[in-house]
Structure 1
Amino acid sequence: MILQALCKYYERKPDLPRPGFEIKPIPFIIEINADGRFVQIEDTRTMAGKKKIAHSFLVPQGVKKTSGIAANPLWDTTEYVLGVTSTGKPERVQEQHAAFLAKLEVLANEINDAGLNAICTFLHSPEKERLENNPLWSEIRDTNSILTFRLSGDKELVCQRPAVYTLFENASTETEKIICLITGKPDHFERLHTAIKGVWGAQTSGANIVSFNKEAFNSFAKEQGANAPVGKHAAFAYTTALNHLLSRESTQRIQVGDASTVFWSEQSSPLEDSFASIFDEPPKDDPARQTRAIEALFKSPETGTFSNEGGDTPFYVLGLAPNAARISVRFWLTGTAAGMSQRIRRHFEDLKIVHASFEKPYLSLFRLLVSTAAQGKSENIPPNLAGDFMRAILEGLPYPQTLLAAAVRRIRAEREITCPRASLIKACLNRQAHRSSSQEKEITVSLDNSNTNPGYRTGRLFAALEKIQEESSPGLNATIRDRFYGAASSTPVTVFANLMKLKNHHLAKLEEGRKRFFEKLIGEIMASISDFPAHLNLADQGRFAIGYYHQRQAFFTKSEPANKGE
């Protein structure tokens, strides 16, 4: 199903490379004239942030590199193209260069092209030594950069000249004919599938989804791709499509935890264009991009964005994670563009919670997940949590229990209830309540005076007691939250008796008006608390955090009354 969907995506993208070619970043181009004389070295790189990014070109498809020696046609590393090295073994480098020259001679014998002849002349003449005088030479040699050639006066590379292009377009290597497992049509099977590049954490040279590289994986003594025969056309189509989706320039990929996530639809869809903006971090030069995308999504029922046939277009989301020399499928989600849009809207509705005016109204997946990770680092996000979270969003399921536990655990460890953590807890608890027979009251966006849950009420009380302490003793280095939050949120009975006694000492320092305000507030909160709970389960620990957060927000919100929220 995954490979079939990728093949369909390839067929609807005429701008993707056709069989026999690939898109390759090439930082340096050696320009020569028709006589094989050196003209210049062109640096194709441009600055992207603090890094130089090479321009990508359409080139003949490279061979699959292994530990052996195999040269690519008309482009390769400096060691292969020029036979020089600063770090490698000289003997091996000469063998690599000989392989490149041998492949070049084969091509030159098949067609008479001025570009191919010029390269042959250049590589066999002293002109090659003139490269050493170029300012870029030491960088090219030391980094073993990828090189290719251009004939002076041409706009295209030598490998893109019409005669050369036609040669590679018509080239084919015959293998046994089979029924392709992807298309169901007769085709010659592909023995080695092209490596997939761009998966975060995987090998830079690429890894495979389909691979049989051990004897134990073989069936009936068949080798490599013969174990699960895929036709050459289908193999090229799915690998080209996936590499395109995972490329640096792609607008159809996001990072979800450790999973490099790509998405596409069978036909052009508004969701395909906005999916990354909805879930990913907005760029620094356009911080409002996510907000605009989500607002447009909420307005889609009014604007009729998905009211036509496009709403029934199949939509796919694929999460990939590294697994040694292979790539593992972390999650694979399918649905319609309209259906997924509706579930995404519900996700942001569930997350909605009162927040400070300087905080963003919507949070990206990254911000939500790192709020549950130790030290706020993405590498500390549990491997499966991100995938489970994305699945729950796009399939309309309850959020994973591990997400709620992670948010509660991080609050207890850091004693800080932030907006992302409060949003996650609210969303997790409300989705659980919708799916269960419990009569538990749904958590509102802002302070809810009618919520009598013991966890929610004790959380509000804890916030009130902390506020009293802060106003009575300004400039404290540590409040009761820093000292007692863990115990108060899990075993309230062990700390609240002492905190209620301590509160009287703090109230005595306040002016009469503030004193009456806090006494009235505590009386209202305590009205439904007969005894402090001995223990709060995970869900009620979450409600404790929400109660605390709601009450704190109410203290600092002047434009809205501190009563029942939305």
Structure 2
Amino acid sequence: MILQALVDYYDRKANDSESGIAPQGWERKELPFLIVIDQDGKLVNVEDTQEMEGKKKRAKSFLVPQSENRTNGIAPNFLWDNVEYVVGKVGKGKESRVAEQHKAFKERLEEHAGTPAIDSVLAFLARPTKLEELEAFPAWKDAADTDAFISFKLVGQPEPVFRDREVMRIVDSPDDDGVDLQACLVSGTQDALTIKHTPIKGVQGTKASGGRIVSFNFPAACSFGKSQGANAPVGETTAFKYTTALNTLLGKDSKQKMAVGDATMVFWAGKRHSFENDFASLLQGNKDDPDQLTEAVTALFQSIHDGAYDEDKEDTTFYILGMAPNASRISIRFWHVGTIAQMANSIATYFDDLSIVHGPAVQDHLPLWRLLVSVAAQGKTENIPPKLAGDVMRSILGNLPFPESLLQAAVQRAKIDNSSLYEYPRAKLIKACLNRKWRVGNPNNERSLNMSLDKDNINIGYRLGRLFATLERIQQDANPGINATIRDKFYAAASSTPATVFGNLMRLKNHHLSKIENQGCVIFFEKLLGEIIYQSDDKPGISAFPAHLSLADQGQFAIGYYHQKQDFFSKKVDTDNQ
């Protein structure tokens, strides 16, 4: 299913003349340097294709003959490769091996001697002083020092030699004589079998050389008498299409990829659709410009709220693939398929679950990256638990409860970190965790959490959170400008083992109230404490402080505390009329 969907995506892009996706036998590759020669093979220049992009140089991208699958063996690319292969310049490799690599590079070209452009390259490579001649050009030092990918260009021609018409004909017409054809498991057509699939590059955590999602490299994984790709026959055409599609989605300039914890996610639609670009704003993090990102998330929310995707009459399919590194291979972390309308509905529910009251200085909607950072140690992206982001993503797309580990992380960080920077996003997550859990299964008939203060919520955790926020506010009014409050010292114990601290806090409250000179303010707080603690006609009182709170009730405590604080901030107490 995954490979077929990627093949379909390749076919869709191949039919779009503006997509720039590579045709079979070719691939996109950045070549920082080109050796410019004349028709006789004489060196003319070393051309640097790099241009400044932001603060870094970026090499020009070319459509080059498809690279060879190589690990430890010697397998030269056709008319382009690194400096060691192309001109035999010894860099990181041993001199003897570099000589073998360069010899193999020339021998591959000699198979097509008689093609004018290739003959010119062979003439240059035959020059015994070619390395000394190259050193006369300033750009060559950078090329040699970095073992960069290089190729050749004939003087006066706009493109490298591999874009010569006769050379392109060679690449487009490979010699298939004597190739054994087998049925491809994906397409069902007869095709040459792919022994080693092209590496997938761009998945975070994998080697620079990439990894494979289809591979067999130890006997226990192989069927009897079969090796490598023969265990799951995939035709060369299918293998090229799916690997090219996936590498395109993972490319440097792709807007259809994002990091999700330790996983890398790509997504695409069954046909061209604006949702492909809009979807990225849900998660993607941009430390350089977080405000722009937040605006993009808000725009996505508004589009969904306005029903922009509800009228997708053709039920366009949307695919989401999450991948993570696994040694030299790539493992599939998650795979989700649905219509764009279904995806939009799931995201709308997600936004609704996150909605919570906040101050004027923060935005309504935050990308998931900003939310997850709030539950990570030291507020660092690299400290987000590896599997957490992928599990959360699955929950969002499937409209499922969030993993218990997310609630646990949010509650734990609330006890340790009282930074106002993370209080709001953490409250959003805790509210969403609890509401999604209750929506699926609610044996205790818990009421869902509101966006703002809910005076009718009788949950013990929620009421204790409100009580703690009120006691803190009393302390602050009694000691204007105080640097540390009961939040700093007692929040962890109050939210998990209330009986150990609330008795002392209630006695301390009496001392604080006695210091407040404004009696209207004192009366207001006493009324509020009575509302929270004591029994009324429609709700029970707090008869005793519990010894322990469950994880869910600790989450309720956090929301009760947050709601009550926001209620204090949202309206100034009219002390003159209390």
TM-score range, shorter chain: over 0.9
Q: Are the structure 2 counterparts of residues 301 and 463 from structure 1 closer, same or farther at C-alpha, using a change threshold of 3 Å? A: closer
Aligned to 1:487: 493
Q: Secondary structure at the match of 1:486?
A: helix
Take 2:573 and 2:96, find their aligned partners in 1: how far apart are those partners?
A: 78
TM superposition shift of 1:153: 1.6
- Name the CA shift for 1:502/1:286 in 2 (closer, same or farther; >3 Å): closer
Decide which of 75, 78, 99 is 1:73's aligned counterpart: 78
TM-score by length of 2: 0.92
Q: 1:346 aligns with which of 349, 356, 369?
A: 349
* Residues 31 and 39, structure 1, Cα contact 8 Å, conserved in 2: yes
Gaps in structure 1 of 5+ consecutive residues: 562-566
Alignment partners' CA distance in 2, 1:249 and 1:387: 23
Taking only aligned residues, the RMSD between alpha carbons, in angstroms, comes to: 2.0
Contact kept? 1:415, 1:486, Cα under 8 Å: no
| Alignment-derived partner of residue 239 in structure 2 | 235
Identity of aligned residues (%): 50
Which residue pairs with 1:124 in the alignment?
Answer: 126
Partner of 2:21: 16
CA contact (8 A) 2:309 2:344 kept: no
TM-score between the two structures when normalised by the length of structure 1: 0.94
1:166–1:422 Cα change, 3 Å = same
Residue identity opposite 1:553 in structure 2: Q
Q: Residues 87 and 142 of structure 1 are in contact (CA less than 8 Å); yes or no, is this contact kept in structure 2?
A: no
Aligned with 1:168 (options 168, 171, 183) = 171
User: Offset of 1:429 from its aligned partner?
Assistant: 0.5
Task: Name which of structure 1's ranges 39-48 and 300-309 shifts more when overlaid on structure 2.
Answer: 300-309
Give the equivalent residue in structure 2 for 1:7. Answer: 7
- For 2:506, which of 494, 500, 506 is the aligned residue? 500
Distance in 1, Cα, partners of 2:571 & 2:181: 75
Instruction: Find the counterpart in structure 2 of residue 150 from structure 1.
Output: 153
Task: Give the conservation status (yes or no) of the 8 Å contact 1:37–1:127.
Answer: no
Flag structure 2 segments of 5+ consecutive residues without an equivalent: 15-19, 535-540
1:441 corresponding residue in structure 2: 447
Residue 541 of structure 1: aligned partner:
554
**AA in 2 matched with 1:522:** L
Matched, 1:52 2:57: yes
Q: Which letter maps to 2:556?
A: R
1:291-440 equivalence runs, <5 A? 291-292=295-296, 294-300=298-304, 302=306, 304-310=308-314, 312-416=315-419, 418-437=423-442, 438-440=444-446
Residue 172 and residue 424 in structure 1: after superposition, are their counterparts in 2 closer, same or farther (change >3 A)? farther
Alpha-carbon shift at residue 268 of structure 1 (Å): 1.4
In the aligned structure 2, how far is the partner of 1:63 from the partner of 1:221? 26
Distance 1:2 1:519, change over 3 A: same
Question: Is the contact between residue 467 and residue 529 of structure 2 (CA under 8 Å) also seen in structure 1?
Answer: yes
Matches of 2:227 and 2:543, distance apart in 1: 73
Could you tell me how far apart the structure 1 residues matched to 2:307 and 2:559 are? 35
Write the distance in 2 (CA, Å) between the matches of 1:42 and 1:338: 50
The residue identity in structure 1 corresponding to 2:87 is L
Deviating more after overlay: 295-304 vs 408-417: 295-304
Distance (Å, rounded) in 1 between the aligned partners of 2:54 and 2:532: 52
8 Å Cα contact 2:278-2:300 kept in structure 1: no
Q: Report the residue type matching 2:546 in the other structure.
A: P
Counterpart CA distance in 1 for 2:124 and 2:500 is 84
Contact 2:324–2:330 (Cα < 8 Å) also in 1 = yes
User: What residue is the counterpart of 1:95 in the other structure?
Assistant: 100
1:292 Cα deviation after fit: 4.3
What does 1:104-253 correspond to in 2, within 5 Å?
104-107=109-112, 109=113, 111-113=114-116, 115-125=117-127, 126-173=129-176, 175-253=179-257
Distance 2:477 2:353 in 1: 34
Does the 8 A contact of 2:293 with 2:367 survive in 1? Answer: no
Structure 2: distance between partners of 1:506 and 1:285? 44
Shifted more, 173-182 versus 442-451: the winner is 173-182
Supply the AA of the counterpart residue of 1:199. V
Q: Which amino acid aligns with 1:116?
A: I
In 2, the alpha carbon distance for the partners of 1:448 and 1:67 equals: 65
- Separation in 1 of the partners of 2:102 and 2:8? 39
Q: Does 1:523 align with 2:530?
A: yes
Between 178-187 and 523-532, the greater mean CA deviation after superposition: 523-532
Comparing 319-328 and 9-18, the one that deviates more: 9-18
Moved more, 380-389 or 318-327: 380-389
